[in-house]
Every structure is written in C-alpha cells, then in structure tokens.
Amino acid sequence: MRSKFFLLLFYAIFLNSILPLQVIWATSVFFVEPLDGAIVKAPFNVKFGITTMKVRPAGCMEKGTGHHHLLINKNSIPVGRQIPMDSRHLHFGKGEVEASIFLLPGTYRLTMQFGNGVHQSYGPKFSKTIRITVR
C-alpha cells in the first residue's frame, strides 16, 4: 500500500513538472445562463463567467483583467482587434457580469468576447458561442 502511495506521488510530481500550468488551469469564458440551446422569453438574463482573469471596468489596463462583450450573430474577434460598438456588439464596460437582454423572437448565435480595458479582443481563446431561441 505504501509503495502505491509513493508511486502515485512520484507520477503527480513528474506530471506537474512537464505539463504547463495553462494545460491544467485552462482559461475559459462561459455562459452561466442561458445555456446552449435554451429557449427563452424576452427579456432574458445573460450571466457571464471567466476563469484565470479578473473582470474590471473599461479603462483598467492591469494585466490579467478585462470586461465582457456580447456579440449577436457575430463570430469571435481576433486578438488585438477593436471590438465595435453597435447594436450587435454590446459592451459591459462597467464590469457587469450579468444583464437583461431584449431580442425579437427568433434564433440567435450569442458570442461572449472578453476584451481588455480599451475594448481590444483577447481573441477566440477568450470567447464562447451558444445558440438560443427567443420566443
């Protein structure tokens, strides 16, 4: 029993030394709600989540921080590109992590895009797309 414990401990130390922390603690953004495929009634709540970064208001350029953007029927934005500000690119520059959204009935693709303090995209790695139907 004791030898199995030490063998397991050895493998854990070995794997930890060869695997970068980014593999173990992968960065991700995610929708807390709605879930992919959800059928919702307008207005509906959107809640954003993120790991390994901190949500801060626009203007904050501290490393490892940014804020959420919601893209409606748009794809993720490449790293470093400015996120447009229009009716299909909603900015949550006060550091909001949830919002009430009104969309007309239909099927939509919602892409959450995390960006820095001056609204530059962190790229596809910091985006998540879901599909919803508004009734």
The CATH number given to whatever domain includes residue 117 is 2.60.40.10
CA distance 6 to 11: 9
The pLDDT tens digits of the residues spanning 41-63 come to 999 999 999 998 999 999 999 99
CA distance 75 to 54: 23
User: Is 44 within the bounds of a domain?
Assistant: yes
The pLDDT tens digits of the residues spanning 71-123 come to 999 999 999 999 999 999 999 999 999 999 999 999 999 999 999 999 999 99
Does 68 score more than 80 pLDDT?
yes
Range of the domain at 72: 26-134
User: Is 2 within the bounds of a domain?
Assistant: no
What sign for the dihedral angle of Cα 113, 114, 116, 122? Answer: negative
User: Is 65 within the bounds of a domain?
Assistant: yes
User: Is 20 within the bounds of a domain?
Assistant: no
User: Is 71 within the bounds of a domain?
Assistant: yes
CA distance 9 to 26: 23
Cβ-based neighbour number of residue 46 at 10 Å = 24
Closest-CA residue to 111 (of 81, 80, 82, 83): 83
Number of domains in the chain: 1
User: Is 11 within the bounds of a domain?
Assistant: no
Please provide the distance, in angstroms rounded to a whole number, between the alpha carbons at the two ends of the chain: 59
CA distance 15 to 17: 5
User: Is 106 within the bounds of a domain?
Assistant: yes
User: Is 21 within the bounds of a domain?
Assistant: no
Does 40 score more than 60 pLDDT?
yes
Is 132 in a helix, a strand, or coil?
strand
How does residue 24 score in pLDDT terms, banded at 50, 70 and 90?
Answer: very low
